[in-house]
Structure 1
Amino acid sequence: MPILAPDLHLVDFTDTAPSDLQTQVTAAIDQANTFLDKLQPINADTSTSVKSISAAQALTDVMTFDHINLALDRSWGILSHLNSVMSNDDIRHVHHELLPKLSAYGTRVGQHQPLFMRYKTIVNDEAFLATLEPARARAIELALQSFELSGVALPKAEQDEFAAIQSQLSTLSATFSDNILDATQAYALPLKEEQLAGLTDSGLDLLADAGKQYKASALEKGTLTQAEVDALPTQYYVATLNIPVYIAVMTHADNRELRETLYRAYVTRASEFDEHTNAKGLSLNNADIMGQILQLREQKAHLLGFANYAEVSLSTKMADSVPEVEAFLRNLAAQATPTAEQDLAQLQDSAKDYGISDLQAWDSAYIAEKVKQDKFSLSQEEIRPYFPLPKVIDGLFAIVERLYGITVKEQQHEDNHSENAASRWHDEVRFYQLFDEKNQLVGGFYFDLFARSGKRGGAWMSSFQSRYTHEEQGYQQLPVCFMVGNFTPALDGKPSLLTHDEVLTLFHEFGHGLHHLLTQVTVGDVAGVNGVEWDAVELPSQFMENWAWDAEGIALISSHVETGEPLPKDKLDALLAAKNFQSGMQTLRQIEFALFDLLIHSHTPALDYDGILSTLNGVRSDVAIMQTPDYNRFANGFSHIFAGGYAAGYYSYKWAELLSADAFSKFEEEGIFNPITGKAFRETILSVGGSLPAKTNFENFRGRGASIDALLRHSGFNDNHPNDKAAS
């Protein structure tokens, strides 16, 4: 069993009480502020009489401040992570109480003239700047850009206004996220026997497990007495809005009324149609919050001299302008529409066989599954037993070993208090160490893959700790990250059995993880995913999904949970044949989200809630081909743009998909397990992180600029407009 290296600096999660983390965060901010207080004003122009310092001394000060901030990155990173995966009233209270302090500190740093002038001193000394390693020079370039976007050049009154805006935005975004989580977990629908028709065994297991949780929660909250709980059936089925349960019902339930009921509940979460309240009795409706966020973002943009917030967002991305992104999205929509229309016609025709003459949103997943079974003889449930999570994980590790020469080893954790055990925040969590071809430790990562109460929905990689070295202090840390999912948990003594969609999600997040872990950059601000333009950061993750669509890759990640038999050839052929099933409609859906995001953030004046809904309806009128119910309030749960980092950047998924498809086409040309090509991808993309512009990294790998051809081919659109080409 590999020994845990001290350079991993792992967290003792048994000693992370919210109050302790609050103390640590506050102390870290105080320490950093003390340093800023003592930082003497200078002038970067040596021709003036104001005191100046050498570029070397300026860099020393910058690096010292970076090192001081490690304590804040760590304590706040832990608290933020726990608020996402183990949220409770105590954690949430401390997290939210600290947000204004964090915001104020971040604004102070971004507007701190003595610190800013040290960066200017470095770049003004061109001879000195030329001696720096590229990663350090890039970090300084990005820091100066960040200063400008933090209002460093604003008059004092406007700086104060900027700080107030930042503080309000951080609080509003956290409340938005809370409302979604609370609304999701507040919903529970006990089911009758006649509503269960069509549900698979695994789906019924999920509903029964939700039933057990429902009983326990009702007892704890006092909404049911023990006698009332005892009177309920032993096998009690409850539908919830947690994704594994929701998907199970929407995909397989024969009862159309049940599907519509659950659909309506899901798409109206945190809206005016949602009557749930939080623990304080407050409404969960996000409507006003959305309008306030847009208004504040617009104010921030105007203070910085931009016409709208979309321009602020794009100033740090690969894409140059709002018109460029909009043209990219609308062009891709035009490419996808013919295929999408065929997709819809196929569903509508099949729906008639099930007595549905007017196909609705709550029918699409159900009918799509029927079409898959009929056209491809493919059922997600039939292939689920061939993707037990332990086998998928082992196969995933085998694939990256063949590609990059790296080895993954699980750190056992029978005793959480053992000297050689990795502490965890939940029993389901697993910790792994990553070794290179010379058996040198590269970094570590945690898997937290199952849905549970108190955990934010979706899947993500959190780049908790970056690769970083501070030679003067003799300090080194290796990268560590959290990879989080909401998969179907293990039930009835069997391991978790994944759908192929869940397999793709695991590969996606692991691609992010590799980007973070395999970096050779030791300047934290541009190590791993740090400093990578947002519209390129999805490249490695979407790229990794390709191996879950390849026959040789699938052979490594699949075997029947009971017999160990490989995925039969007929099922493999069906799975691969169905790769582009409904790809047209899925692409238009992503474009709908991306275009909506872009338009609401480029609109001046800022939109209120009615304007937000009107814009969404307009986008649907432009690009969607299937009618959406009037009550659909998807936007009220759009956490990516209102509570995440994707504001005016959701297009990044499609932009990066173009890059990833084109990158993978090199493997298609040279062999998808070609170690030379894998080494090139690792060295030009994964290892360099944000130390070079993403465009440069891509061209270094591909030998040219990006082309849309591979994306159209991979999506099955290449026959729609065969002569239409574009590059990002």
Structure 2
Amino acid sequence: MTNPLLENADLPPFSAIKPEHVKPAILQIIADNEAFVESLLKGSAEFTWDTLQLPLDTINDRLSKAWSPVGHMNAVVNSETLRKAYNDCLPLLSEYATKMSQNPRLYQAYKTIADSEAFKTYDEAQKKVIENQLRDFRLAGVTLPEAQKQEYKALKKRLSKLSSQFSDNVLDATMAWTKLITDETALSGLPESAIAASRQLAESKGHDKGWLLTLDFPSYFPVMTYCDNRSLREELYTAFCTRASEQGPGDKKLDNSDIILEILALRHQLANLLDFNNYAEYSLATKMADNCDEVIGFLEELAERSKPQAEQELSELKAYALKTFGAEDLQAWDIGYYAEKLRQARYAISQEELRPWFPAEKAIQGMFAITSRLFGVQFESVADTDTWHGDVRFFNVFRDGEVIGRFYLDLYAREHKRGGAWMDECRVRRKIIDTVQLPVAYLTCNFTPPVGDKPALLTHDEVVTLFHEFGHGLHHMLTQVDYAAVSGINGVAWDAVELPSQFMENWCWEKEALAEISGHYQTGETLPEDKLNKLLAARNFQSAMMMVRQLEFSLFDFRLHKDYKKGVDVQTVLNRVRDQVAVVRPPAFNRFQNSFSHIFAGGYGAGYYSYKWAEVLSADAFSRFEEEGIFNEQTGQSFLNEILAKGGSAEPMTLFMNFRGRKPGIDALLRHSGIA
């Protein structure tokens, strides 16, 4: 049997990849790689970039090319057999990664390079690769005694399995709950688009009549925001916020409570093994922030500056709900609903009302036009590319007539696709002798698909999400670094990696840019002046409430890992953080933490603060465009050259200061958020 995952294809042959290919391919590549490293280390005692790093890049790239489409398909076209194949490989990959990073001879080989005279002649990016490698060897316990190395290996393997299980449980618990509505009056208040989508979903599930609701965000969010039926809102809220918990929908085997405790215990053990006091310290070893106190201080200062306004915003909401609707006791499932009513009353604008002006295709083409003006690149759709689903599209990115990057775009929510939005790498840019392997990205969202003969229509919030993920994609695709380990998003400190994504969001709020991304799906008319003014006026509606909510998540994550003690009560930690920063208190049954995939399954453990940290960077970076012109060509080229093109080849603070001329400050973020 030929195995498509073992072919060194230009792009993944998605339609040919089957679950039965996965494990044999990974086993084969791991065995080949281990044998190669063994022979490489036997061959010489003196190593150079060309004799060590380049050959290792080649074998790492082969593994990445095989695993990347598997991990991606597991997230976007999940099935029982694929999930099993994926999960079976996680311990193998974890063991392999640990074996490589704990190989003392490989560590010594890198040290000989760092200590050599030739190292002084390396360019900055090469030096960064070698320094990062040595740091990562130490963080993997390369200098530990053998027994502790084995302990580290076992911990990494188990953590990898638990993270995947956490994610699977959230997906299964989300899919386990549906509700068929047979009386349309129960959906009173819902926008026409949401009603049509729920009818279409019911039909696809074989229901002749009725409207099907699920916990997927495009179904859940409109109910929480617009549905007049309070008991239905409460029912959906309860199901959503208890997913993967002891009281959530679906099989009780999907409860993530014990998994959370085990992940926390093992992370703490891992950190202690490497001489860190806690997992938060270990996490910061590869980040921009210097220490735990700096992170806590940063988050608490933002909370201190934001909470008074957040309390005022909540008071206004309660007063409005009482006066206008006689609603006395606002619960968590009421906040979004009455907030939307207040937004309407103040600004007479709603996300749903804006949909007709943001057909997906217009938003995409407008985004391309804006990016072209900023960074001098162009985009072209490529037909007949092999993909994992009929909705997926593929694009080339050009500069000066030459293709410099490519990406897949998968916009719509569907069954067996993980919720949320993300960017991931399919291929990484690296130089191979005389040629350059082009970077290829996956851009994934979960928007409402086209309904009937109408095109997909986005809310403005969804347009912002699209720009966000595209920012990550640009960081990956516009890199000019030739070394895989620091090319694109690789080697970028986790708390700086959100800078380009949040930076790109700013153009969704600029009048000149909105003219590019809006156009009524029937008439082509750009967003009318009155709606534009209302949208901009409403931009910072309840922004302090949103700020403290994000700070709640960030502080909870960081304190959970920093102050970990055996037998920790996770709910108590969360409640204490809420006492400190929250203004909206969820009900006691809320189990938000059980589906907090970012920190338990998505790489953000003791790092969720990164979103706010990077927001400070992005707001301050954008303030230079505000000063010099939002489409100023020189400023755009400066951002391209100093930030996007450099990838992880230098420290993020150095790159930021090269672009901005100074260190970042929080004032631009507070100003953009409308917080005094």
- TM exceeding 0.5: yes
Contact persistence 1:269–1:636 (CA under 8 A): yes
Task: Name the residue aligned to 1:442.
Answer: 404
Asked if 1:395 corresponds to 2:366, the answer is yes
**Hey, what does 1:666 align to over in structure 2?**
624
Summarize the alignment of residues 131-150 of structure 1 with structure 2, pairs less than 5 Å apart.
131-150=121-140
Q: Which residue of 2 aligns with 1:130?
A: 120
The correspondence of residues 77-96 of structure 1 with structure 2, limited to 5 A, is: 77-96=68-87
* Structure 1, gaps ≥5 residues long: 1-5, 43-51, 216-228, 414-421, 720-728
Instruction: Indicate the residue corresponding to 1:224 in structure 2.
Output: none
Partner of 1:491: 451
Aligned to 1:154: 144
Indicate yes or no: 2:302 matched with 1:340.
no
Query: 4+ runs of 1 displaced by more than 3 Å?
Result: 39-42
* Residue 351 of structure 2 corresponds to residue 359 of structure 1: no
Write out per-residue CA displacement over residues 671-725 of structure 1, whole angstroms, 9 at most, x where no aligned residue: 00001000000000000000000000000000111111111110111x3xxxxxx
Whether contact under 8 Å (1:592, 1:619) holds in the other structure is yes
Contact 2:177–2:249 (CA under 8 A) maintained in structure 1 = no
1:373 alignment partner, one of 326, 338, 344: 344
SS at match of 1:75: helix
Q: Structure 1 length normalisation: TM-score?
A: 0.90
CA–CA distance in 1 between the matches of 2:636 and 2:105? 44
Supply the distance in 1 between the matched residues of 2:51 and 2:125 (Cα, whole angstroms).
16
1:177-208 CA deviation, whole Å, 9 max, x = no partner? Answer: 00000000110011233311111100101211
Percent of residue pairs bearing the same amino acid type: 48
> Partner amino acid for 1:133?
D
- Report the alpha carbon displacement of residue 470 of structure 1 after superposing the two structures with TM: 2.5
Cα distance change, pair 302–401 in 1 and its aligned pair in 2 (3 A) = same
How far did 1:101 drift?
Answer: 0.5
Aligned amino acid, residue 22 of structure 1: K
**How many Å separate the matches in 2 of 1:600 and 1:561?**
47
Change over 3 Å in CA distance of 1:698–1:36 after alignment to 2: same
Alignment of 1:270-419 (within 5 A): 270-277=244-251, 283-352=253-322, 353-413=324-384
What SS does the aligned partner of 1:604 have?
Answer: coil
> Retained in 1: the 8 A contact 2:176–2:249?
no
Q: CA deviation at 1:429?
A: 0.2
* Residues 1:425 and 2:425 aligned together: no
Q: Does 1:164 align with 2:138?
A: no
Select the residue among 169, 172, 195 that pairs with 1:179. Answer: 169
Looking at structure 1, the residues matched to 46 and 66 of structure 2 have their Cα atoms a distance apart, in angstroms, of 33
State the alpha-carbon separation in 2 of the partners of residues 645 and 559 from structure 1.
38
CA distance in 2, matches of 1:275, 1:401: 46
Distance 2:566 2:33 in 1: 36
Range that drifts further, 383-392 or 184-193? 184-193
Cα separation, 2, equivalents of 1:39 and 1:439: 40
- Matched residue SS, 2:333: coil
* SS of structure 1 residue aligned to 2:325: coil
Q: Deviations over 1:40-68 (max 9, x none)?
A: 469xxxxxxxxx73343x65123212211
Partner of 1:469, secondary structure, is strand
The answer as to whether partners of 2:242 and 2:249 remain within 8 angstroms in 1 is no
Distance 1:573 1:8 in 2: 49
- Partner Cα separation in structure 1 for residue 267 and residue 488 of structure 2: 28
Q: Residue 22 of structure 2 contacts residue 86 of structure 2 at CA under 8 Å; is this kept in 1?
A: no
State the SS of the aligned residue for 1:435. strand
2:246/2:257 contact within 8 Å kept? yes
> What does residue 211 of structure 2 align with?
237
Stretch deviating more after TM superposition (357-366 or 384-393)? 357-366
- Write out per-residue CA displacement over residues 95-114 of structure 1, whole angstroms, 9 at most, x where no aligned residue: 00111100100000110111
Read off the aligned partner of 1:714 and give its amino acid letter.
Answer: H
Looking at structure 1, the residues matched to 11 and 320 of structure 2 have their Cα atoms a distance apart, in angstroms, of 53
**Partner residue in 2 for 1:202:** 193
Name the residue aligned to 1:221: none
1:110 aligned residue: 101
- For residue 248 of structure 1, what is the amino acid of its counterpart? P
Q: Distance in 2 between matches of 1:284 and 1:7?
A: 38
1:68-88 deviation digits (Å, cap 9, x = unpaired): 121110111111000000100
CA distance in 1, matches of 2:364, 2:531: 21
Alignment-mate amino acid for residue 625 of structure 2? F
* TM-score after normalising by structure 2: 0.97
| SS in structure 1 of the partner of residue 436 of structure 2 | strand
Corresponding letter in the other structure for 1:250? M
Residues 188 and 214, structure 1, Cα contact 8 Å, conserved in 2: no
| Whole-angstrom CA distance in 2 between matches of 1:429 and 1:701 | 35
Contact 1:7 1:476 in 2 (8 A): no
Check conservation: 1:521, 1:527, Cα contact below 8 A.
yes
Q: Deviations over 1:393-425 (max 9, x none)?
A: 000000000001100111123xxxxxxxx1111
Which whole-Å deviations, capped at 9, do the CAs of 1:599-630 have from their partners, x for residues lacking one?
Answer: 0101232454xx11110011001100122100
In 1, Cα distance between equivalents of 2:111 and 2:41: 15
Instruction: Give the distance between the partners of 2:77 and 2:8, measured in 1 at CA.
Output: 26
